[in-house]
Structure 1
Amino acid sequence: MKRKGLLLSFITLLLIGILSACGAGGGNEASGKEKSGKNKVVIGYFPNIDHVPAMIAKEKGYYEEALGDQVEIEYKTFPDGGAFMTALKTGEIDAGLVGPAPVMNNYSNGADVKIIAGASSGGTVVVASKKSGIESLDDIHNKTFITPGVGCTHDVQFETYLQDYDIASSRIGGTLKHTTGNPAQYQAFFESGKVDLAAVPEPWASLLIKDGAKVIVDTKDIAYGTTLPNTVLVTSNKFIKENKDLVQNIVKAHKKAVDFINKNKEEARDIAIQSIKEITNQELDPEIIDSAWERVRYTTEVDEKVLQDFSNSSYDLKFLKEKPDLKGLVDTSFLN
């Protein structure tokens, strides 16, 4: 098990063109046993509202409790799914939470990745800036929209939704321009007039709305709505084969965190606020989190059919070169 990383400050986050769908952790260098004689397991996640299960597990010590005294747990946060998947493929992290789009895209291209549980669903919202003059989809032609990454979960959801209205991005012959960036920057982009629309995850959507952005497509209406796993728990097949008991306990801790969220909303909210502040140096208003919470559902369930349909949409939108077959991507046996 390898460890390697870099703590990203809030200033760094603002310079990275992401969230995403979709933040940064402590440093890791060597693999295997530590000088203490302990094995190290590195868990990755993002400083987003849909990644709260990882924040709860960290705060409550659920991974430490489940994996035992001989395993040291390290946490590393990421600005986007691409960075997360690179870390997983290179062994910098062992498991963690990430959006389904980068997972499916990487899997379709032969990457060793396995979804072992769901974490959250819903939470994607499309909002327009006050300066854009956009009141509905009729007004978005020739405008510029932003997402955390090209082909990220929120990008695919929005562009799939637009197909029913015969609207497409300029990438595939339409008039709607697309750019990418960190959701923490979106308000600044709106104010500068650089972008008009954002397909953005919570809590950033609620922040933009509070600052005057208009909801154009809400979570319940966008493609795949609340049925699509917005965040999943993943690891590699190699890690499963070499550490089956560890993986079982990782899922056990994850399930405990999800259960805690659903039974202790206010405490979970407060933990999320503090965790995001520590990572991004930005303290979110409890009212913002409460608003965001209404659009997100925390669950360990994984709907494989929805994942396949979503991946087919990625292909139809030309994010993937070949039609995907996700057979073998999901292993829910550790949830039993």
Structure 2
Amino acid sequence: MLDLKKWWLGAFMLGIITLLAACGGNTDHAEGGDKEKMVIGYFPNIDHAPAMVARENGYYEEKLGDDIELEYITFPDGGTFMAALKSGEIDAGLVGPGPVLNNFSNGADVKVLAGASSGGTVVVASEKSGVESVEDMAGKTFITPGIGCTHDVQFETYLQQLGNDELASSRIGGSLHHVTGNPASYPAMFESGKVDLAAVPEPWASILVDNGAKVIISTEEIAYGESLPNTVLVANNKLTEEKPELAAKLLEAHDESVAFINDNPEKAKKIAIDSIKDLTNQEMDAKIVAQAMSRVTYTTKVNEAVLKEFGNSSYELEFLKEAPEFDGLVADQE
């Protein structure tokens, strides 16, 4: 069973780490002597393992060269990541497609360079919720990392496809109450009874299940479960248009990292465990991480048609005010 005091500490530490990193990220990219700075962002989630592996194995440094000074910032959700990307606080990194599509449709200068992972989103219910199946969800409270985030859209699209108006967020006339929060805090929120359900990425889904939660909607069942790129490599247009050679080298490092994960799953698992421990002050059980990574496919491929369909779902769920147009979002795939 999970030590809740440690989880609260982990959630607190993650917030402090993110805040301190963000403060450091405000540095002018021209600082650092003759070196040019590049700032990369990612989350302490299993589907962001390509960034963890690339950082640990030195792939970014190797590909970008000695003239580039690298800095890393971690984020709790896609909204804060995209705000940092748009402001120039970070140059590139890994994030879910939901925030990318939402921001692109509102005029953000961003480019999807590649996929990073697919799958991994799971909807679980707490032991105290009384939820044993989807039919029991009416009137319950669910949590996601952000409003309109990838996992939120997947869950709400799944509910929409059921054709039961009651099984929808109260935001669009249903009975489910939606709240948001850092996934590291979900075990404590389940224990306190503040939330009943979570649409959550790995490893947090496996951790919740290990702590007694029940899987209600699996990765295979949820909307876009295995076809949607759950995490993508993105960059702002300042990098892709003004310094395409650096964007290309960043992509090479990313490709090498994804290949490493698929060729060396045990080593990748250890890197993920160590990285998440550094970021959250929590050491994940190897069996939990193995279960989490089994739900995720690491691939650089991006199915642009699925991304557009996913974006249309965001519009139908009223996360987007206008019908989206996504031409030019995805870089040409070789």
Secondary structure, aligned partner of 1:118: strand
1:240 equivalent in structure 2 = 240
Does the 8 Å contact 2:10/2:184 carry over to 1?
A: no
2:251 equivalent in structure 1 = 251
Taking the aligned partners of 1:123 and 1:30, their CA distance within structure 2 comes to: 34
Q: What is the identity percentage for the equivalent residue pairs of Structure 1 and Structure 2? A: 63
How does 1:120-269 map onto structure 2 within 5 Å?
120-165=117-162, 166=164, 167-269=167-269
Secondary structure, aligned partner of 1:179: strand
Question: Shift in Å at residue 28 of structure 1?
Answer: 3.1
Question: Shift in Å at residue 294 of structure 1?
Answer: 1.1
1:4 equivalent in structure 2 = none
Equivalent pairs, count: 320
2:31 equivalent in structure 1 = 34
- Tell me: CA distance 1:255–1:319, structure 2 relative to 1, closer, same or farther (3 Å): same
Deviations 1:121-162 (A, max 9, x none): 000000000111111011111111111111110010001001
1:47 equivalent in structure 2 = 44
- Name the amino acid aligned to 1:207: I
Secondary structure, aligned partner of 2:85: helix
Taking the aligned partners of 2:175 and 2:63, their CA distance within structure 1 comes to: 51
Does the 8 Å contact 1:144/1:176 carry over to 2?
A: yes
- Name the amino acid aligned to 2:85: L
1:292 aligns with 2:292: yes
Taking the aligned partners of 2:224 and 2:13, their CA distance within structure 1 comes to: 29
Taking the aligned partners of 2:241 and 2:227, their CA distance within structure 1 comes to: 30
Question: Shift in Å at residue 58 of structure 1?
Answer: 0.5
Does the 8 Å contact 2:11/2:182 carry over to 1?
A: no
Question: Shift in Å at residue 242 of structure 1?
Answer: 1.1
**Unpaired segments ≥5 residues, structure 1:** 1-8, 17-22
- Tell me: CA distance 1:241–1:184, structure 2 relative to 1, closer, same or farther (3 Å): same
Taking the aligned partners of 1:281 and 1:225, their CA distance within structure 2 comes to: 30
Taking the aligned partners of 1:49 and 1:174, their CA distance within structure 2 comes to: 31
Cα-Cα RMSD: 1.5
**Unpaired segments ≥5 residues, structure 2:** 1-8
Does the 8 Å contact 1:127/1:216 carry over to 2?
A: yes
Question: Shift in Å at residue 11 of structure 1?
Answer: 4.7
Secondary structure, aligned partner of 1:209: helix
In the superposition, the TM-score normalised over structure 1's length comes to 0.92
1:62 equivalent in structure 2 = 59
In the superposition, the TM-score normalised over structure 2's length comes to 0.93
1:311 aligns with 2:308: no
1:89 equivalent in structure 2 = 86
Does the 8 Å contact 1:131/1:193 carry over to 2?
A: yes
- Name the amino acid aligned to 1:330: V
- Tell me: CA distance 1:115–1:144, structure 2 relative to 1, closer, same or farther (3 Å): same
Question: Shift in Å at residue 76 of structure 1?
Answer: 0.9
- Tell me: CA distance 1:11–1:293, structure 2 relative to 1, closer, same or farther (3 Å): closer
